[in-house]
Structure 1
Amino acid sequence: MLAQLAVMALNRWGKSLASFTSTDLDDRILQRTTPHVSRLLVTTGVYLAIRSLPLHEKLIVISSGALYIVLVIIVFNLIYHAFDELLQWYIAGRQHDKDALISRNMIPIAEKITMLFLMGTALIVILKHFNYDIFSLVTALGIGSLAIGMAAKDTLAHMISGFTLMLDQPFRIGDRIQLSGGQVGDVAGIGLRSTRIKTLDNQLLIIPNSDLCNTMLINQAFPDARAKGRVNIGVAYGSDVERVKALLAATALEVEEVLRDPAPEAYFVTFGDSALNMSLFFWVEEYSRLFGTIDKVNTLIIRRFAENGIEIPFPTRTVIMEPLAKRHEEADMQGASE
């Protein structure tokens, strides 16, 4: 009864106090932790009642010890849920902030680390209550951890690298990256041991995190999602270069996906063996649309060149064939003159 009254008072006064703040964090924490507060009050009442009842001493010790363990579990569970709500609130308010201290990818690892820390602290509190030697236990755990670490050093290296990737954030889930080996794909997941990348061929690359930490890569989503397209094309010698450049830029603007700002630009790059080599540059809003946009631009260039009489020459090579007898005669004349 007292616990129910306390919870009712907490809901009433707590919500009244929370309404004066500018954020909903306190409301969320209050809603998340109220059931645990109710359990805490009930268990505390039972614990105090048993300690005050005229029962057998051994029964009191066993019962109060068990209830103390339950109390510690409830308290640390309450702390965990309050911290988890704080973490969720922080991420929700900064999900579009690239410079946020903690990204959404780190929520699972942060929750696990918090859970392990609270479990370890709760265990130490309980053991200390029952007069166990904490120092000996910590020493034994340290030696065991050292042995496990030596046996699983590669796995630990991958896990540390995974934690580093989550903190440094060279890429995020959904970003398109290009590896040093030339593979291109979208980041599908970042785990403690490995990172999964879905290639453009719909294959899944699973790469150990330590390898990713020690390699160069290109993140096409940074600093923003825009991507630059390039089309190389050759026109016949004798073509009006300025006219071709203007036509290329105008043709690119006919494609809806090509951005107007920055505007497309065409350049006369080199003199080729059989053509004047031109390059057209343009931007698209999303890197995922780049291949399709290049296809549209190429198709439209062929059409506009045909309409304007601009020739795209084939590579040609001229071979002069001379009779073998003539070559022998020239060689004999050269030898006689020497």
Structure 2
Amino acid sequence: MFITFETIWNFLRNDYVQLLMILLGSLLVAKIIKEIIVKVLKKLMDKTKSDLDNMIVDVISRPLYLTTLIAGLQIALYQLSYIEQFKYIANPIFFIIYVLIGTSIVAKIFTALVTRWLKVKKQFDATPNLISKMATFTIYIIAILIVMEYFQVEIGPLIATLGIGGLAIGLALQSTLANFFAGIHIISDEPVKVGDYIEVASGVEGTVVDIGWRSTKLKTLGKTMIIIPNSKLSESIIKNLSTGDHSVTAKVEVGVDYRSNLNKVEKTAQEVADKIQDKTAGAVKKFKPTVRFTNFGESNINFVIYMRAESREMKAKVEHACIKALKKRFDDEKIEMSWPIRKIYNMQ
């Protein structure tokens, strides 16, 4: 029995065969987009100086692949004759899917553009999460309005209802909203930004790692994470140690025995400090250390060595090196650092 052209034609006109062919075709097109077009675009973008175009290609490549498959599925399903009666259900579903994919692409691209603008114009080393979240939230709100318009939902009454509900929610969430707007104020006014090393009036200090919608996170030199509500931070006195001269004073407090030759102590401590300042990594090389006697203690005559470190992070390293070197040199020079003692007299 021979297979005639008419038999093949009738086979190909079968709804399920056409559905399968369209699905395979959409998969092939999606693969071509992913493997050829996207790779070609990436090679072209690698020749440009900016990495923003590479970021955009990375953002759209997967959604484009997914959209092609979904579009193929939609076309394939619509080839089935009995699907016609369900189009009133299928059309809104596919519309919502396309809107969600498009919104995701726009949100990611917009966030990338804002991140780049902040880095170039405002010198942000890292973008605060608050800005990214606000941008994404705004875009998704627009997407919801588009979906509501598609379903012919009256937006006016809804906005009025949301206004009344928003007032009630605002009263219930006063502290949260205060933190939110304080976060916006911190980002816009820029008393601090991500990457700055700050000291708050309460004594808390650390590097700003994120400015969120509710709080700002600091990481101390000991790698401890400190979370400060934005409203508290915006009202506090802040010392930004990352602006201007980043160097800080390194201070070592020492005490020597009352019988010590103070001229010898001062000369020895000065020599040690000069060497540490000149040889230690993280110390400001051109700074001249000073040695100053401060007070008569219970068991020692106390003095302080003042040096200069390049940053807050290097301060502890410079002080550490000075203490070790000074102890060794005092031992060599027979300079004694006494421990607390008490004299008890028997009056009998």
> Using the alignment, how far apart are the partners of 1:58 and 1:201 within structure 2?
66
How big is each residue's C-alpha offset from its partner over 1:229-274, in whole Å with a ceiling of 9 and x where there is no partner? 234679989x797x8765443211333437362233326688989x
CA gap of 1:44–1:260, structure 2 versus 1, over 3 A, is closer
Query: Aligned residue for 1:257?
Result: 280
Query: Match of 2:97?
Result: 70
- Answer yes or no: is the 8 Å Cα contact 1:50–1:64 preserved in 2: no
Give the aligned residue type for 1:35: R
2:159 counterpart (138, 148, 151): 138
Question: Which residue identity does 1:11 align to in structure 2?
Answer: V
Seq. identity, %: 23
Where does residue 60 of structure 2 map in the other structure? 33
- Corresponding residue of 2:213: 192
Q: Which residue of 2 aligns with 1:113?
A: 134
How far apart are 1:69 and its partner, in Å?
Answer: 2.0
Aligned to 2:19: none
Q: Quick one: structure 1 residues 188 and 109, their matched pair in 2 at CA, closer, same or farther if it must change by over 3 Å? A: closer
Equivalent AA in structure 2 for residue 281 of structure 1: Y
Gaps of 5+ in 2: 1-24, 339-348
TM-score scaled to structure 1, two decimals? 0.67
Aligned counterparts of 1:196 and 1:212: Cα–Cα separation in 2: 11
Contact 2:269–2:291 under 8 Å retained in 1? no
**Corresponding position of 1:104:** 126
> Does residue 162 in structure 1 map to residue 189 in structure 2?
no
Q: Which amino acid aligns with 1:182?
A: G
Assess if the C-alpha contact under 8 Å between 2:67 and 2:98 holds in 1.
Answer: yes
1:182: how far off? 3.0
- Offset of residue 155 of structure 1: 1.1
Q: Please give the alpha-carbon distance, in whole angstroms, between the structure 2 residues aligned to 1:5 and 1:287.
A: 56
Instruction: State the distance in 2 between where 1:12 and 1:296 align.
Output: 53
What is aligned with 1:287?
312
Count of residue pairs brought into register by the alignment: 307
**Do 1:50 and 1:63's aligned partners in 2 also have CA atoms closer than 8 Å?**
no
Amino acid at match of 2:96: I
Moved more, 300-309 or 57-66: 300-309
The equivalent of 2:107 in structure 1 is 80
Aligned-partner SS, 1:254: helix
Q: Which amino acid aligns with 1:5?
A: V
Distance 1:294 1:146, change over 3 A: same
249 and 69 in structure 1: CA distance in 2 versus 1, 3 angstrom threshold: same
- Partner AA of 1:264 in structure 2: K
Q: Structure 1 residue 309: deviation in Å? A: 8.5
Contact 2:292 2:305 in 1 (8 A): no
Amino acid at match of 1:213: S
1:226 Cα deviation (Å)? 3.3
Kept in 2, the 8 Å contact 1:196–1:205? The answer is yes
SS of the aligned residue for 1:104 comes to coil
CA apart distance, 1:291: 4.0
Asked if structure 2 preserves the Cα contact closer than 8 Å seen for 1:193 and 1:208, the reply is yes
**Would you say 1:217 and 2:242 are equivalent positions?**
no
Q: Give the aligned partner of residue 173 of structure 2.
A: 152
Q: 2:86 aligns with which of 59, 65, 73?
A: 59
Letter in 1 for 2:280: E
Partner AA of 2:178 in structure 1: A
Comparing 299-308 with 20-29, greater Cα deviation is found at 299-308
Equivalent residue letter for 2:86: L
CA 44–139 in structure 1, closer or farther in 2 if over 3 Å, else same: farther
The answer on whether the counterparts of 2:284 and 2:309 sit within 8 Å (CA) in structure 1 is no
Give the whole-Å Cα distance in 2 for the aligned partners of 1:196 and 1:13: 41
Unpaired segments ≥5 residues, structure 1: 314-338
SS at 2:186 equivalent? helix
TM norm structure 2: 0.65
Tell me the CA shift for residue 186 of structure 1: 5.4
